[in-house]
Structure 1
Amino acid sequence: MNKVRTIFANMSWLMISQIITSVCAFVWTILTARYLGVSDYGILGTATSFSVIVIVVADLGVTTYITRSISVDYNVEAEYLGNALSLKLILSVLYLAVVIFISYLLGWDNFTILITFLFAIESLIKSFYNLLFASFQAHEQMKYQAITNTLLNVLTLVFIVMICFTDFGLLGITFAYIAANLIGLIYCIAALTKHIIVPKLLFDLKFFKKLIIAGIPFALTTLFYTLYYSIDMVMITQFSTTYATGLYNSTYKLINVLTLFYTIYSAVIFPVMSKLFKQGKDMLRLSFVKSIKYLSMITIPIAVATFFYAGDVIYLCYGNQYADADSVLKILVWTVCFLFVNGACSMILNASHKETSVTKIYSLAAVFNAGLNLCLIPYFSAHGAAFATVMTDVLILILEMYMISKINQLPDRHLIFDLIKIIIASAVMGGVFYLVNMSLWLAIPVGVIVYLIVITLIKFFDNEDKLIIKQILGKA
């Protein structure tokens, strides 16, 4: 019962933070897209995607490895965190050099290279506070992580609003991101120092080697994961136009807003899963099954609703200049469903010390995605990239389910029945949208009501779900 309450408390803090973050991100995404225009927004998308892909050089999987290690044994925290910080400082220099080298190699113009380099600095700052988040997650003290996220996102919005009243353009937007993240990092260090541990730089070359070797599987997983989710924008720029990249980036930002909840969920559940694996596999399987059930309950109806109202969503957010993006959104929105399920699968494999299997899966997915992009983007531009992303998600789901079956953690038929119920309820909601011509604002409450009624009628929540709810509320 205490474990459930702890999870719920952490979820509550992160949920409040993420609601604020989502609203801020949504607003600044719209402001930035409208302020920059399609082509410059395409450059921004390329720069951010490229810097995220290469950031693995500055981390090498150390952050994920440390989160798991500290979750199991707090006594190793000082040694792990101190050496990891020192190692990341060294790797940061290499990272920035790699960014500049590859940018020139791709033949980008000087302005695009400058923006990419600056966003690499922003990604580097994020990489450092994500490392510090490992301690908050391991101690299940996500309150301070939530405050950090809230602070930096509110500041990002404030700075971007200020830039939108100037003529600094894309360069000004870039510095707004950097300044907000830098302030967030300062607060994160202060909170960690005051409430958990004083981070001190340690230089143990043997320990560096240990961290690198242990982190490589996580690093490769992260690399392949970001490749298949971010390489598309880089490839659209290379094989199509920055205008097409801008259209794709505008839809991708909306998808990111929808997937922010997964970031919360994984931050809370992964340390818990690592503990449950040590304590008992039955609880690990329960956590996994409920993760898929509850996440799918949210994402599938959202995807269905977005499919029917993609044009209205694009017009509302970006205006007429992004009108061509609605058909891209209709394809890309389905990645939300797969992202959540695939993420839950990856968590149970990582928590079960099967990170090498996850690495292999994402390596195959990255190659598959790059190949599809190479074939489709020259002919179908952003639409081809969107289709390639969805098909890659399907491949990952198949491969991860196969690996989960090999560790005897495959969900039973009850989860399949639950997913069928979700699909039925979502389909009924979609049918109402198709038959009744409603405005977007009317469709939202009507869709929610129809979905909840169907979910209730088909008895979606079982006794186990009701018990979990009672435990969260402190009534069991």
Structure 2
Amino acid sequence: MKTAKRIFKNAFVLLSAHVVSKILAFLYIMYAARYLQASGFGVLSFALALAGMFGVLADIGLQSLMIRELARESAQVKKYLSNVSCIKILLSAAVMMIMMLTVHLLGYPSNTVQVVLFIGLYVILGSFTEMIYSVFRACEQMELVSLGIILKDVLLFSGIVYAIANRFSIVGIAVIYTVSGAAVLFYALSVLNIRVLKPGSRWLPWIMGLNLRFWKITVRKALPFGLSAFFVMLYFWVDSVMLSFMKGNEVVGLYNAAYRIVLVFTLIPAAIVNALFPVISRYFKTSYENLISIYENSFKYLLLMGLPVGVGVTFLADMIIPLIFGSSYNPAVPVLEILIWAGVLMFPTTLFGTVLASIDRQNLGMYAVGFCALINIVLNMILIPRYSYLGAAYATVITEVVGFALQYWFLSKHLHAINLPRTV
């Protein structure tokens, strides 16, 4: 019962924070989309998509590995922080250089290059913040993560409202992202020192624990997580990048108006699964029976939450889009009607990926997500030239169906087969 209460409390805290965060994010995205119009919003969406994909390479799965390992052995906090932070500094520098070289070689205009630069810095800063959040999550101090989540979007909301009121350019809005990311990283570092690390372990003493052999072992363990995360980001955002190449920024803006609405609903499985991850990781070592019970019940309740979302959004899409983004975004209505079903499938697939990682089968999760990313790219190449953003939406739903089937099969083979007809 104590474990169940702890999971519920952590899930509730994270879900509450994500709800507040997504409401704020929804508002500032709505204001930015209306202010920038579809073409300008397309540039911002392209930058966020590209930086998101490259940003994963600055982490290579280190965050997920830290949660799993520190949940099992919390005494290793200082060792992981000192070594992982140094690895990430080197990776981040390389990623930023490669990303900026890419946009230059592709011939994007200077204002797009500047937007990518500042959004890239924002993503890198966020990666370091998430590294610290990994410690909080492993220690099940979800309230510290929740405060940081809310703080980030409060700063972005305030900054973007100020930027719009003062008629900032799109580059100025991108700078707001960078400043907000730096402020949230400062918060995370401060709380880490005050609430988690012992007095003798703060700040500079981290570097005293560097161990190059540990780097090699850690990177090898983290790579399956990292590749999975990269494939997930590729799957989530490659459609925006490909639409930018093939159809232009205005189409990207329309597509992302619908996509942003779908992503709001994914906060529900994300919050629940984040609370479950450290618990499932421990149960894998201590109690198979409890692990199966949590897995089955979580699947059932996530499916129960997701299906009404799909039905409701499908019927109300023609009201939701103009209400949030204005009538100029009405072409995004059919995109939302299609994409929301990918969002419904993300409820259980988010759980599947986390359970695979918790039972040391992250390689299988990586294979599934990598295969899905490849399918998504191929489908986008076939469907976008003919059907534009509708083609990208169909590609996303088909890919999510494949991902569900693959990960369900892996878990049925290596852990437990849920009776799908009975559950549904």
TM-score class, shorter-chain normalisation, is over 0.9
CA shift, 1:139, in A, is: 0.6
Structure 1 residue 407 corresponds to structure 2 residue 401: no
Code of the residue aligned with 1:140 in structure 2: it is E
Q: How does 1:254-333 map to 2 (within 5 A)?
A: 254-333=261-340
Provide the residue aligned with 1:364 in structure 2: 371
Q: How does 1:74-223 map to 2 (within 5 A)?
A: 74-197=74-197, 198=202, 200-201=206-207, 202-223=209-230
CA shift, 1:70, in A, is: 0.3
CA shift, 1:14, in A, is: 1.6
Provide the residue aligned with 1:4 in structure 2: 4
CA shift, 1:349, in A, is: 0.9
Structure 1: distance between partners of 2:225 and 2:404? 18
Q: Which runs of 5+ in 1 are unaligned?
A: 420-476
Structure 1 residue 344 corresponds to structure 2 residue 351: yes
Structure 1: distance between partners of 2:13 and 2:245? 41
SS in 2 for 1:333: helix
Contact 1:345–1:404 under 8 Å retained in 2: yes
Q: How does 1:355-434 map to 2 (within 5 A)?
A: 355-411=362-418, 413=419, 416-419=421-424
Contact 2:270–2:350 under 8 Å retained in 1: no
Structure 1 residue 29 corresponds to structure 2 residue 45: no
Structure 1: distance between partners of 2:296 and 2:105? 45
1:145-171: per-residue Cα shift (whole Å, max 9, x none)?
A: 111111111111111111111221211
Structure 2: distance between partners of 1:297 and 1:28? 30
Contact 2:118–2:177 under 8 Å retained in 1: no
Q: Which moves more between the two structures, 398-407 or 370-379? A: 398-407
CA shift, 1:86, in A, is: 1.2
Structure 2: distance between partners of 1:342 and 1:18? 19
Structure 1: distance between partners of 2:293 and 2:105? 48
CA shift, 1:210, in A, is: 1.5
1:67-93: per-residue Cα shift (whole Å, max 9, x none)?
A: 100000112221112100111111111
1:83-134: per-residue Cα shift (whole Å, max 9, x none)?
A: 0011111111101011112212323222212111211100001100111011
Structure 1: distance between partners of 2:417 and 2:259? 31
CA shift, 1:57, in A, is: 2.0
SS in 2 for 1:334: helix
Structure 1: distance between partners of 2:172 and 2:110? 16
How many residues are aligned here?
417
Task: Please list every run of at least 4 consecutive aligned residues from structure 1 whose deviation after the TM superposition is greater than 3 angstroms.
Answer: none
Code of the residue aligned with 2:284 in structure 1: it is F
Structure 1 residue 242 corresponds to structure 2 residue 267: no
Structure 2: distance between partners of 1:136 and 1:416? 38
Contact 1:163–1:173 under 8 Å retained in 2: yes
CA shift, 1:369, in A, is: 0.5
1:202-253: per-residue Cα shift (whole Å, max 9, x none)?
A: 4322222122111111111011111111100000000112111010111111
Code of the residue aligned with 2:221 in structure 1: it is A
Structure 1: distance between partners of 2:168 and 2:153? 20
1:297-335: per-residue Cα shift (whole Å, max 9, x none)?
A: 222111111101111000100111101000110010111
CA shift, 1:255, in A, is: 1.1
Contact 2:269–2:351 under 8 Å retained in 1: no
Code of the residue aligned with 1:9 in structure 2: it is K
CA shift, 1:416, in A, is: 3.2
Contact 2:19–2:267 under 8 Å retained in 1: no
Structure 1: distance between partners of 2:82 and 2:421? 45
CA shift, 1:28, in A, is: 0.8
Provide the residue aligned with 1:427 in structure 2: none
Provide the residue aligned with 1:54 in structure 2: 54
Provide the residue aligned with 1:456 in structure 2: none
Structure 1: distance between partners of 2:225 and 2:115? 28
SS in 1 for 2:57: helix
Structure 2: distance between partners of 1:239 and 1:99? 20
1:41-83: per-residue Cα shift (whole Å, max 9, x none)?
A: 0111110001010112211111111110000011222111210
Contact 1:71–1:274 under 8 Å retained in 2: yes
Code of the residue aligned with 2:421 in structure 1: it is I
Contact 1:51–1:123 under 8 Å retained in 2: yes
Code of the residue aligned with 1:386 in structure 2: it is A
Contact 1:218–1:359 under 8 Å retained in 2: yes
Contact 1:57–1:94 under 8 Å retained in 2: no
CA shift, 1:259, in A, is: 1.1
Contact 1:284–1:348 under 8 Å retained in 2: no
Considering only aligned residues, what root-mean-square deviation do their CA atoms show, in Å?
Answer: 1.2
Same amino acid, percent of matched pairs: 28
Provide the residue aligned with 1:424 in structure 2: none
Larger Rg: 1
Q: Which runs of 5+ in 2 are unaligned?
A: none
